[in-house]
Chain A
Amino acid sequence: MASSGWYVVSVILFIQLFLARVRGARSYYPLSSGSYNHAKQPLQTFRPYNIAHRGSNGEIPEETVAAYLRAIEEGADFIETDILSSKDGVLICFHDVILDLTTDVGNYTKFANRKRTYEVQGQNITGYFVVDFTLEELKSLRVKQRYPFRDQQYNWKFSIITFEEFISVGLEAERTVGIYPEIKNPVFINQHVKWANGKRFEDIFVETLKKYGYKGSYMSRDWLKQPLFIQSFAPTSLIYISKLTDSPKILLIDDVTMPTQDTNQSYWEITSDSYLQFIRNYVVGIGPWKDTIVPAVNNYLTTPTDLVARAHAHNLQVHPYTYRNENLFLHFDFHQDPYAEYTYWIHKIGVDGLFTDFMGSLHMVPGMDLSSEGCKECGCFIKDNFWHDLSI
């Protein structure tokens, strides 16, 4: 009798553990708020997505916890990041393959001998490469604001974070905030970092997402609870993971002169109708550089291309990058007014999402706030959706 009692108890325990894994998969990283999935303000899906490009990096050094928290505070729908890998195979949030431009790596004598030259996407790059540093070493560095004309007061205060820490920031938010991670430089990463069991960068990437319960196709119930877009410039990576996860994917498209890093295809090929038709089997949208959609000459917009129309015809969303408030990034049509740019892209071009460094400003564009009366909790001033008198 005692043995069967033990048996029952152990089965019950086993079931509980199993359920815990399925339910929240949070047993590894227990965090303060328990049932984060319930009673949260849902993600808005009736207007273009406000995608916080690298977090609120207009104000705070990019891809740090502080930048992501600030982005959520300012009204972002999604927080975006670039995933690379450390030497010991831990996925981290970092944009450049080298540490030189946004960290203090050059100040450490112990790292002085780590400088290397590697070929990345056909170009020789010299610097301190992320893939040559263990996670512990990366964590010892301090991050700074990339652009000198932005606020420097947070330099050296924050560290690089891991993919899992980024996910936690998204899940811990008081309202539903989506994540938008990029499989960044996968060709380069897979060359330099090896994982056990023959797994690749893309495998670890998807496993991490699944560990935190990210699943479900676009607009499914699962997806709406934990919204996610997986982005990459490398089509084969997206195709590869399509068997591993049904989460929606976005094909990023670089400037017209840049071929894809994995398939060496030109811009013209991957934006052709036949390619869009093909890639539609794997992705729900494209993320082009905005100056390829509407090219600029002498800092003035020229006639828009038909890329958005054709993408939409193939049922592909369009999320261009990157919108910035500073006048040096604004074409003269917008008269140095970032709101004029946002309004043009949302109402004239009709994009479905925008990668921006200034999600606070985008959030306050008429029609982009959380309610038609204006957003009381973040105090934005737009109280009206009256935008049609914009003379662009």
Chain B
Amino acid sequence: MASIWNISVLLLLVFGAANAESNVNQEAKKPIQTFRPYNVAHRGACGEIPEETAAAYHRAIEIGADFIETDILASKDGQLVCFHDVTLDDTTDVKNRTEFSDRKRTYEVQGVNVTGYFVVDFTLEELKSLKVKQRFSFRDQQYNGKYSIITFEEYITIALYADRTVGIYPEIKNPVHINEHVKWTNGKKFEDIFVETLQKYGYKGTYLSESWLKQPVFIQSFAPTSLIYISNKTDSPKVFLIDDVSIPTQDTNQSYAEITSDGYFSYISQYVVGIGPWKDTIVRPQDNYLTTPTDLVARAHAHKLQVHPYTFRNENSYLHFNFHQDPYQEYDYWINQIGVDGLFTDFTGSLHLYQEHTSPYPKDIKTSDDLLRKIEYIISKYERA
């Protein structure tokens, strides 16, 4: 009797663990919108709350993000964490910690010597003991010291537990640097662990497939070889990030001109569904005024590549004078004049309000799915308190 009981409990546990994501029924949720450009909460609602914290992601979901975005690095003991910089100096209290005072190092990262307290020199437990702060001094400082660094899995859980379908947009960040400093067993690389984590939580399916719509994801990276490497491990859509015009790729040392050429687009479009360029390379400013847009978006679209530029911020120091210090006019320009397919923004709430007021529902309904989604959307308005 006891043994049957033991076995059944064991079986329950096994099945329970295998379906980590099925704790929350993803079927019954309000679906993700796909008729207007994606609202990508860059590092969560980092305009309001310290970046890449649970609070920042919850807030982003609360104020309307389609996707929550993060940067994945690895701790010394190979745990994947959400953190943007390779060093902890600018956004944590590591410098005040006497127990870590001997951890300062200088490493070469993407050809530049960087000095600081490196994420890869701290175990997860040590990283968790730190407290995070708001990066920019002109943003709200009241949450400094309240939140910790979270793991990739904690981030995924936040998305899956949202009460509507929220996509994730994790970045394979600094893979060259990570793979230099962190080793996993069985000869696995950073990219392997990254994909395994996603698959553990049931992320799969090509762009707009049924699986994808239930659990939307974009995998992003500045390193093309990482994206190509994972392409036979997962069919989840990938986005190729493109840095400023003077920065070569960290893994293949290719220039901006080369990786934005038509030939390269033809090549990379076999592996990625879109590109994520720095917006000032698409429309280059001069004296804080926009000049004539380049043809980058048109050529990307011609190769069936989406364009998700980064990063949109409300503060007037980031707004070119054409927009008259009005972040909504910047959104209007990029969405309606340039025609991008997604936007990385620090102020996902503002973008959401702009989109709600200017494109609240699909203009033309092409499929029955669209019609059902439209009905869903109309009904959901009346469900709000």
Contacts and interface: CB of A to CB of B under 8 A. Distances in A.
Contact of A339 (B315, B317, B328): B328
Contact of A366 (B142, B315, B357): B357
B253 to A, nearest CB: 38
B349 interface: yes
Q: Which 10 A-B pairs have the closest CB atoms?
A: A336-B314, A325-B325, A327-B315, A326-B316, A337-B350, A332-B140, A361-B326, A151-B321, A381-B332, A381-B358
A389 B356 contact: yes
Contacts of B328: 339, 361, 364, 381
B314 A337 contact: yes
Interface in A311-344: 325-328, 332, 335-340
B324 interface: yes
Contacts of B288: 151
A335 B56 CA distance: 13
Given A382-B357, A382-B358, A389-B384, A337 B324 contact: no
A389 B63 CA distance: 10
Contacts of B237: none
A335 B47 contact: yes
B347 A58 contact: no
B350 to A, nearest CB: 5
Interface string B315-355: 11100010011111100100010000000000101100100
Contact of A153 (B139, B287, B357): B287
A335 B349 contact: yes
Interface string A282-309: 0000000000000000111000000000
B16 interface: no
Contacts of A150: 325
B360 interface: yes
A275 interface: no
B138 interface: yes
B310 to A, nearest CB: 17
B140 A384 contact: no
Contacts of B139: 336
A140 B326 CA distance: 34
Contact of B324 (A149, A325, A366): A325
A338 B326 contact: yes
A358 B327 CA distance: 12
Contacts of A325: 316, 324-326
Contacts of B329: 360-361
Indicate the size class of the contact surface on chain B.
20 to 34
Given A327-B317, A338-B325, 17 more contacts: A149-B317, A151-B321, A298-B142, A325-B325, A325-B326, A326-B316, A327-B138, A327-B314, A332-B142, A335-B48, A335-B314, A337-B314, A338-B326, A339-B353, A358-B326, A387-B357, A390-B353
A143 to B, nearest CB: 18
B315 A336 contact: yes
Contacts of B140: 299, 332
B64 to A, nearest CB: 9
A149 B316 contact: yes
A298 B356 CA distance: 31
Given A58-B324, A58-B325, A298-B142, A336 B360 contact: no
17 contacts: A59-B321, A299-B140, A300-B142, A325-B326, A326-B315, A327-B314, A335-B350, A337-B314, A337-B327, A337-B350, A337-B353, A340-B350, A340-B353, A361-B329, A366-B357, A381-B332, A381-B336
A90 B321 CA distance: 35
A386 B63 contact: no
Contacts of A360: 324, 326, 329
Interface of B: 47-48, 62-63, 138-140, 142, 287-288, 314-317, 321, 324-329, 332, 336, 347, 349-350, 353, 356-358, 360, 384
B47 to A, nearest CB: 6
A149 B321 CA distance: 10
Nearest to B331: A381
Contacts of A364: 328
A328 B325 CA distance: 12
Contacts of B327: 336-338
Interface in A30-64: 58-59
Contacts of B47: 335-336
A339 B350 contact: yes
A177 B288 CA distance: 32
A383 interface: yes
Which of A151, A325, A328 has most chain B Cβ within 10 Å?
Answer: A325
A367 to B, nearest CB: 10
Contacts of B347: 335-337
Which of B62, B316, B356 has most chain A Cβ within 10 Å?
Answer: B316
A391 B140 CA distance: 18
Which of B62, B142, B336, B353 has most chain A Cβ within 10 Å?
Answer: B353
Contacts of A149: 316-317
A325 B316 CA distance: 8
Interface in A145-171: 149-151, 153
Contacts of B316: 149, 325-327
Contacts of A153: 287, 321
Nearest to A390: B353
B291 to A, nearest CB: 14
A386 B357 contact: yes
Nearest to A59: B324
Interface in A348-392: 358, 360-361, 364, 366, 381-384, 386-387, 389-391
Contacts of A366: 357
A153 B287 CA distance: 9
B311 to A, nearest CB: 14
